[in-house]
């Protein structure tokens, strides 16, 4: 809970031009009703085996702590680390457009002015919900920037490969109903197969209620470093059950 409160404070202090926080929920240490297939893939990518775990530009920097530790975590870890990373110039420019029509969110992202020469660059496009109300086991009642879905390429891999020194334009359409259904199916499979019927969620939080945002970030998957990121609220987002 301490880390969660520390990052809430950071999101209040910094604008989204300086800091974007994404929350990938996982079934650690207990089953979590906000988990979905996209967050499971990110858990595997980062090799996360404890929660909370947080990363700055791909660098792991600790875990949780009690609510009483929140100020210490913010003062000693979160705030100075953000300041340090803000002093580093971005290695690319990202553009982002997002429009909502019915139960879809159409996104267009552009990458330009890329200076990084890594052969493992990948553009990720994320659909997140700004706030989800749920009283978790750690006492938190409101969860911010909950990842609901991530764009995949033609091979069903998360994100889009970027050639060294090159840019590009990428379009993706998020289907809210499909994303909600996939999350529900995952939770039901977790109950039935992973826990073999010995656990039942008291409430499944697969529904996408609204308050949606789109985040795009360019990552070097060799180092996990984030080269640039951008945040946008699409207009007219709808709920999906």
Asked whether the whole model's pTM tops 0.95, one would answer no
Q: What is the dihedral of CA 112, 115, 121, 122, to 10 degrees?
A: -20
Domains of the chain: 2-232 (2.60.40.10)
Q: Quick one: pLDDT at residue 5? A: 85
For residue range 91-117, what is the model confidence (pLDDT) as tens digits?
Answer: 999 999 999 998 999 999 999 999 999
Task: Count Cβ atoms below 10 Å from residue 163 Cβ, excluding itself.
Answer: 10
For residue 221, what are the CA distances in angstroms to 66, 71, 154, 211?
32, 32, 19, 29
Confidence of residue 59 (pLDDT cuts 50, 70, 90): confident
User: How large is the C-alpha radius of gyration of the chain?
Assistant: 18
């Amino acid at each position: 809970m301490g880390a969660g409160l520390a990052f809430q404070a950071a999101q209040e202090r910094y604008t989204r031009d300086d800091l974007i926080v994404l929350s990938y929920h996982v079934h650690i240490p207990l089953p979590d009703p906000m988990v979905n297939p996209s967050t499971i893939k990110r858990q595997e990518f980062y090799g996360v085996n404890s929660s909370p775990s947080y990363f700055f530009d791909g660098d792991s920097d600790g875990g949780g702590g009690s609510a009483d530790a929140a100020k210490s975590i913010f003062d000693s870890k979160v705030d100075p680390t953000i300041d340090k990373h803000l002093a580093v110039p971005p290695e690319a420019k990202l553009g982002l457009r997002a429009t909502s029509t019915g139960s879809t969110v159409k996104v267009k992202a552009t990458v330009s002015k890329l200076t990084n020469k890594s052969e493992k660059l990948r553009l990720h496009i994320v659909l997140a919900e700004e706030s989800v109300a749920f009283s978790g086991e750690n006492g938190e009642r409101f969860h911010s920037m909950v990842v609901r879905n991530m764009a995949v390429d033609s091979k069903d891999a998360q994100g889009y490969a970027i050639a060294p020194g090159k840019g590009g334009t990428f379009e993706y359409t998020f289907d809210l109903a499909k994303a909600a259904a996939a999350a529900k199916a995952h939770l039901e499979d977790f109950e039935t197969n992973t826990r073999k019927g010995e656990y039942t969620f008291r409430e499944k939080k697969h529904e996408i209620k609204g308050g949606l945002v789109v985040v795009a970030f360019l990552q070097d998957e060799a180092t996990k470093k984030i080269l640039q990121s951008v945040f946008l609220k699409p207009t007219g987002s709808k709920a999906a059950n």
